[in-house]
């Protein structure tokens, strides 16, 4: 359906693709992977014609419809979410617009002379609209929006009043309703809660078109894709299977390439040693010349590319008391909406509690109450003895001083730290070399999240409260964070939609329900096994 034939592409001084080739066939669900800046978004833009390769060609079969979702959703306002989604449904939305115009024309007294021809055209258009499933369109649009966690009120309200994250869901819903022959999805799992993520996962599993997508959620990728294309060093390499299989195959290929490289280096060293030893002897001149020519003809094996891996180790945190936080008879409401009505909860030292619940259950509110960012209407929230709190909240990224550089931000937080230790900290969180001189205002969402995380973890608290800490983080940084937090000796209370993160780090589950908190000993994996569901309200 889509072919990339020997494409080359350069952005400024950076070579993104060098005579690279790949194909997307009918029914394939492909995960596109590669380090940040490797060219994943550029590849999408070349397929959609927004950019062109410097050399080579991108071939899209005639008649193939393409739906492209990316993070840049643009302005949306003046219409309901349902109308905005229906407007993106491809041919049927154009037919619906004509049908609406013809209905207005039939009611226009100034066009009474044209009534017969308008009615005739209305019948033709109505037949086409029916054939395209137009009368079921609104119901399907509402179904998709409900799957992405929209309430009826949000569906009907002006889309302009929604936050950026919810507007992204509207843009995603447009593509899903369109059901094109090929879907290009650039980070569709960003900004989704766990319930929406699982709904989208099931939708894409049953979608019968071709799919090319990126995602920083390995579990999401694993369950959907049947092929992986890796961008690395300007080349496109295809691997059959899901993301986990790709990782195994890549590791095996690197091991084999390293062994091949080492064997060739040993052989070359032996040959060069012979040449150096006997080049001055006339009796060995023929043998020396023969070996020199042999070396000139050998195809040199390159060592495998070393992927930059980051790691972070916690300094030991001071020990807290056994009772870390205690909530007694807590009441909280926003307007008429009751969030908590007599909540009791005790979190003890070394517990790693993941907080689960449907949208609006009060997950973030619980974290705000625990950290003092919100106050209960009644009841008490008491931190235990010697508790040193660290809170990662989404709004923390907005509080960064845009005019400071990454390094200046770290210096301001830790004025007594040495330059070397701060540079090492920055490197652990993906800011190496000149990247520490970037102004905070130009940082991406992922870079801001990494900087806030670095500031919080350098002088470690013994009680970490994390609200969606993996939003915006790439897979490598997530892996580093999971590895670091696995070694963390303190207590954790966190909300996350990343199932790999949940399973790796939790040892207690707090499920918020209208009846109160259901508590489960054991982590997220045990919760899924015991309840038969991956998220509250959803059956596996």
What are the domain boundaries of the chain?
A: 1-65+180-241, 79-177, 246-297, 323-538
N-terminal to C-terminal alpha carbon distance within the chain: 33
Tokens read off for 82: 């349902």
pLDDT of residue 90: 65
pLDDT of residue 238: 94
Q: Do domains 1-65+180-241 and 323-538 have the same CATH topology?
A: yes
Query: Which residue spans within 189-336 are E strands per DSSP?
Result: 210-214, 227-232, 235-240, 323-334
DSSP reduced 3-state for 419: helix
Nearest to 227 by CA among 19, 33, 17: 33
pLDDT of residue 229: 96
Element (H, E) at 401: none
List the chain residues with pLDDT less than 70. Answer: 90-91, 306-310, 537-540
For residue 29, what are the β-bridge partners? Answer: 211
Q: What is the DSSP letter of 473?
A: -
Give the up-direction half-sphere exposure of residue 537: CA atoms within 13 A in the CB hemisphere: 17
Order of all β-strands in the sheet with 378-383: 337-348, 323-334, 378-383
Give the Cα separation of 296 and 291 in Å (integer): 9
1-65+180-241 belongs to CATH 3.10.20.440: no
pLDDT of residue 540: 45
pLDDT of residue 355: 96
pLDDT of residue 137: 83
Residue 374 exposed, middle or buried by CB count within 10 Å (0-12, 13-18, 19+): middle
Nearest to 68 by CA among 53, 54, 88: 88
Region 323-538: CATH code: 3.40.50.300
Q: What is the tens place of the pLDDT at every residue in 134-162?
A: 777 888 899 999 999 999 999 999 998 88
| pTM for the model | 0.81
């Amino acid at each position: 359906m889509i072919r990339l034939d020997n494409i080359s592409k350069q952005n400024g001084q950076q070579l993104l693709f060098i005579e690279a080739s790949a194909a997307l066939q009918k029914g394939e669900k492909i995960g596109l992977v590669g380090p940040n800046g490797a060219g994943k978004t550029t590849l999408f833009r070349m397929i959609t014609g927004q950019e062109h390769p410097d050399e080579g060609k991108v071939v899209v079969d005639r008649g193939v419809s393409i739906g492209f979702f990316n993070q840049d959703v643009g302005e949306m306002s003046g219409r309901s979410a349902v109308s905005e989604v229906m407007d993106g449904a491809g041919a049927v939305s154009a037919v619906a617009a004509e049908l609406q115009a013809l209905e207005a024309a039939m009611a226009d007294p100034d066009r009474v002379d044209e009534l017969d021809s308008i009615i005739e055209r209305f019948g033709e258009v109505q037949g086409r609209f029916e054939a395209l499933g137009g009368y079921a369109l609104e119901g399907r649009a509402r179904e998709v929006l409900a799957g992405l966690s929209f309430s009826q009120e949000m569906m009907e309200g002006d889309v302009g009043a929604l936050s950026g994250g919810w507007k992204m869901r509207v843009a995603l819903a447009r593509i899903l309703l369109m059901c094109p022959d090929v879907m290009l999805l650039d980070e569709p799992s960003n900004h989704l809660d766990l319930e929406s993520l699982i709904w989208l996962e099931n939708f894409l599993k049953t979608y019968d078109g071709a799919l090319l997508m990126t995602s920083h959620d390995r579990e999401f990728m694993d369950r959907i894709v049947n092929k992986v294309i890796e961008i690395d060093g300007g080349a496109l390499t295809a691997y059959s299977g899901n993301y986990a299989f790709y990782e195994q195959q890549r590791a095996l290929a690197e091991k084999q390439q390293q062994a091949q490289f080492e064997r060739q280096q040993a052989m070359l060293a032996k040959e060069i040693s012979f040449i150096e030893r006997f080049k001055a002897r006339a009796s060995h001149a023929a043998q020396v010349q023969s070996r020199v020519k042999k070396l000139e003809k050998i195809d040199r094996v390159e060592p495998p590319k070393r992927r930059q891996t980051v790691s972070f180790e916690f300094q030991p945190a001071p020990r807290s008391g056994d009772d870390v936080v205690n909530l007694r008879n807590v009441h909280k409401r926003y307007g008429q909406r009751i969030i908590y009505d007599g909540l009791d909860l005790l979190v003890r030292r070394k517990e790693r509690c993941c907080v689960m619940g449907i949208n609006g259950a009060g997950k973030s509110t619980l974290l705000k109450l625990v950290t003092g960012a919100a106050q209960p209407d009644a009841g008490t929230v008491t931190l235990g003895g010697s508790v040193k709190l660290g809170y990662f909240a989404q709004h923390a990224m907005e509080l960064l001083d845009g005019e400071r550089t990454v390094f200046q931000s770290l210096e301001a937080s830790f004025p007594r730290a040495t330059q070397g230790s701060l540079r090492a900290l920055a490197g652990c969180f993906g800011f190496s070399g000149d990247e520490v001189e970037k102004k905070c205002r130009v940082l991406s969402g992922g870079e801001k999240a990494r900087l806030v995380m670095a500031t919080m973890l350098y002088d470690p608290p013994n009680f970490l409260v994390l609200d969606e800490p993996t939003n915006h983080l790439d897979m490598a940084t997530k892996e580093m964070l999971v590895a670091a937090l696995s070694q963390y000796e303190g207590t954790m209370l966190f909300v996350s939609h990343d199932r790999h993160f949940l399973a790796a780090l939790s040892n207690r589950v707090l499920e918020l329900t209208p009846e109160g908190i259901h508590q489960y000993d054991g982590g997220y994996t045990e919760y899924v096994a015991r309840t038969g569901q991956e998220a509250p309200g959803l059956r596996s």
